Structure 1
Amino acid sequence: MSKTRTISIKDLTCNTYSVKDNSDRGCHTACKSEIKVGDKVVIDNYFTLVTE
């Protein structure tokens, strides 16, 4: 059973995050200011959905 992981955009504390994409690697690095609601970022080795 998988647990849905979410984080509020205002709770992002780092300057850069790995954001899920369709590349061969599966993610790319983005600045906090580039992250938007609906993106999935890597936190503690899990993709976490960014909410409002």
Structure 2
Amino acid sequence: MTWSALHLTTTSRMLMLVVKEYIGLSLSDALKTAATVLASVIALCLTLLLSKIV
């Protein structure tokens, strides 16, 4: 289980750096973009979960 989490973290970091270089973003802008995407996905999941409950 730990290896999978470590592998996923390393892969996501590498992917973020590749996208950052491809688009031409600074590191801080890339981190802000990644945080925004993560927050959006979490909000979508919570909204869908809430729609099943209500």
Could you say which structure has the higher strand fraction?
Answer: 1
TM-score after normalising by structure 1: 0.17
TM-score after normalising by structure 2: 0.17
**Rg comparison, structure with higher value:** 2
